[in-house]
């Protein structure tokens, strides 16, 4: 049921029915883990497979109050049964937004006026930036084409970088998706141009325009 709800909201949800299958799936990169609380808080999520992704947020469904102190990470959230679809959507949104606040981002993000950009050649936009990454907004029907690593180009300023996908979530627009990404596998010169771009771009409400030579 949870899987179908998530798929209906354009998430790439993968359902696994037993610990062995789940452990195998967790060998791959993933953005969010949802599991039964009594099973998860026991021994299943203490495996080496889960340890490889210690910062990924987790939503545990069910009552396991007496064992919450053994939760696998600080990002763990609990939902009680019966599950309410709007509440689940809220939990998922909070989990993915929290991922954007993790130590992988060492600098505050700047919310900016939407910049036109090409994400793997797909017309998209950049809605906030930091020296280490960005949030891009792209058409919802194109999200399936977004691999773990992708190219971002801002034609207006001649900046092009490679980014690593960190999370995906619906944007405030029903026709778009947000993707949080961190710079990855770039030349030093490319990252320097990106930082110059971040330094010069005006913040929403700032009222000033700063341009780096």
Same CATH fold, 110-200 and 2-99?
Answer: no
CATH assignment, 2-99: 3.40.50.2300
Task: Say how far residue 22 (Cα) sits from the centre of its chain.
Answer: 20
Domain spans of the chain, in order of start: 2-99, 110-200
Rg (CA), the chain: 19
Q: In whole angstroms, give the CA distance from residue 108 to residue 127.
A: 14
Mapped onto helix, strand or coil, the DSSP state of residue 162 is: strand
Sheet bearing 58-61, strands edge to edge: 33-36, 58-61, 76-79
Query: Phi then psi for 170, rounded to 5 degrees?
Result: -60, 140
pLDDT at position 174, please?
63
pLDDT at position 153, please?
93
110-200 under CATH 3.30.930.10, yes or no: no
Tens-binned pLDDT, residue by residue, of the chain (213 aa)? 888 888 887 777 888 887 778 777 777 777 788 888 877 766 555 554 455 555 677 888 886 554 444 454 556 777 878 888 877 877 787 777 644 444 444 567 788 888 899 998 899 999 999 999 999 998 877 655 677 788 999 998 889 999 988 887 777 666 788 888 999 888 888 999 999 999 988 876 544 433 333
**pTM of the entire structure?**
0.50
Mapped onto helix, strand or coil, the DSSP state of residue 7 is: helix
Task: Say how far residue 156 (Cα) sits from the centre of its chain.
Answer: 26
pLDDT at position 102, please?
44
Q: Is 97 exposed, middle or buried (0-12, 13-18, 19+ CB in 10 A)?
A: middle
pLDDT at position 154, please?
92
């Amino acid at each position: 049921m949870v899987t179908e709800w998530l798929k209906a909201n354009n998430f790439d949800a993968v359902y696994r029915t037993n610990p062995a299958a789940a452990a195998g799936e967790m060998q791959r990169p993933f953005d969010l883990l949802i599991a039964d609380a009594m099973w998860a808080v026991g021994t299943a999520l203490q495996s080496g497979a889960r340890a490889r992704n210690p910062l990924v947020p987790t939503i545990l469904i069910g009552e396991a109050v007496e064992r919450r102190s053994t939760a696998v990470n600080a990002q763990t959230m609990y939902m009680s049964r019966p599950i309410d679809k709007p509440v689940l959507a809220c939990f998922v949104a909070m989990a993915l937004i929290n991922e954007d606040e993790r130590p992988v981002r060492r600098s505050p993000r700047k919310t900016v006026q939407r910049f036109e950009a090409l994400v793997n050649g797909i017309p998209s936009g950049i809605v906030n930036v930091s020296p280490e990454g960005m949030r891009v907004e792209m058409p919802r029907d194109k999200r399936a084409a977004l691999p773990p690593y992708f190219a971002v180009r801002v034609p207006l300023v001649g900046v092009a970088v490679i980014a690593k996908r960190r999370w995906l979530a619906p944007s405030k627009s029903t026709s778009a998706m947000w993707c949080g990404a961190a710079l990855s596998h770039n030349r030093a010169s490319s990252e320097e141009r990106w930082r110059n771009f971040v330094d010069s771009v005006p913040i929403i409400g700032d009222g000033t325009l700063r341009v780096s030579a």
